[in-house]
Amino acid sequence: MSRKHEKLIDKKGLRLDGRKPEELRPIKIEVGILPNADGSAYIQQGKNKILAGVFGPRELHPKHLALPDRTVLRCRYHMAPFSVQERKSPAPSRRDIELSKVIRESLEPAIFLEYYPRTGIDVFVEILQADGGTRCASITAASLALADAGIPMRDLVTACAAGKVDNTIVLDLMDAEDKKGDADVPVALMPNFNAVTLLQMDGILTLKEFEKTVNLALEGCRKIYVMQKEALKAKYVSVKEVKE
């Protein structure tokens, strides 16, 4: 992973896209953009373009999957064939299945699942364009879509990655940094509870670096949380403007 082909950080300490190590990519979030979904959100994080749609709580099919004491949360992470350099087959890859699982598990702690027994909630995430850190952006968007669907939640879930490239700990890795860097640590957080609901890592970090990286990722999460809340409010502000 860490074969040095090119410098990822220049002499001024800036990254390939001109960011400082602790800087997020530009983020744009919109809530409630899919007319047919019960809840939806769109996020642009750098070149990532991701749509999340939520259906439910609704009758679960196949019915035998239903649980008597709570709703069943299902999640599908899917990449569009044109979202990456080489065409990606639309069939779910092993990576997609793993990501669907970890995204679901990162959202579940935030939802009052017990409010809707014998039903299902479906979260569909479509990656329209990928540029590193899609699982984190997906979680950020999916939790907003859940909130937009009016599903009772303990908190929003917000996610951000940090990692190590060229011996520097950096926030919000883009594709080139993810592929050529030394480590990548995606983290999801419920900020009000200080609860980490997603934690993965690949690469090599000493314990000290690991601690620094996790803390930087958590800091990134808290910044994105502010943007999430603004995006959620913005939906209702814009409705008012239409009426006038």
Partner 1 sequence: MSSIIARVKQKQIADLIAKGKRLDGRGLTDYREVKVEQGVIERAEGSARVLLGKTEVMVGTKIEMGKPFPDTPDEGALAVNVELVPLASPTFEPGPPNENAIELARVVDRGIRESKAIDFEKLCIESGKKVFVIFVDVYVLNHDGNMIDASALAALAALLNTKMFNYEIEEDEVKIKPGYTPLPIMKHPIAVTFAKINDKLIIDPHIEEEQVMDTRLTMTIDDDGNVCAMQKGGTGYFTPKQVLEVARIAKEKSEEIRKKLKW
Q: Quickly tell me which residue has 């999340």 as its tokens.
A: 52
Residue 171 within binding range of partner 1, rule CB under 8 A: no
Residue 94 within binding range of partner 1, rule CB under 8 A: yes
Residue 24 within binding range of partner 1, rule CB under 8 A: no
Specify the stretch interacting with partner 1 by CB under 8 A; choose among 7-15, 59-67, 198-206, 232-240: 198-206
β-strand pairing of 168-171 with 48-59: unpaired
Selection from 29, 46, 36 nearest residue 232 by Cα = 29
Selection from 25, 38, 42, 37 nearest residue 232 by Cα = 42
Residue 14 within binding range of partner 1, rule CB under 8 A: no
Token output for 10:
């220049």
Q: Which is nearer to partner 1, 147 or 189 (CB)?
A: 189
Hey, is 223 helix, strand or coil? helix
Residue 105 within binding range of partner 1, rule CB under 8 A: yes
By CB under 8 A, name the one of 28, 202, 226, 233 that touches partner 1: 202
Specify the stretch interacting with partner 1 by CB under 8 A; choose among 49-57, 167-175, 185-193, 223-231: 185-193
List, in sequence order, every residue forming a beta bridge with 153; answer none if it has no partner: 111
Give the span between the Cα atoms of 89 and 73, in whole angstroms. Answer: 26
By CB under 8 A, name the one of 10, 59, 114, 211 that touches partner 1: 211
Residue 101 within binding range of partner 1, rule CB under 8 A: yes
User: Phi, psi at residue 103, to the nearest 5°?
Assistant: -70, -45
Residues near partner 1 (CB under 8 A) are 1, 94-95, 97-98, 100-102, 105, 108-109, 185, 190, 193-207, 210-211, 214-215, 218
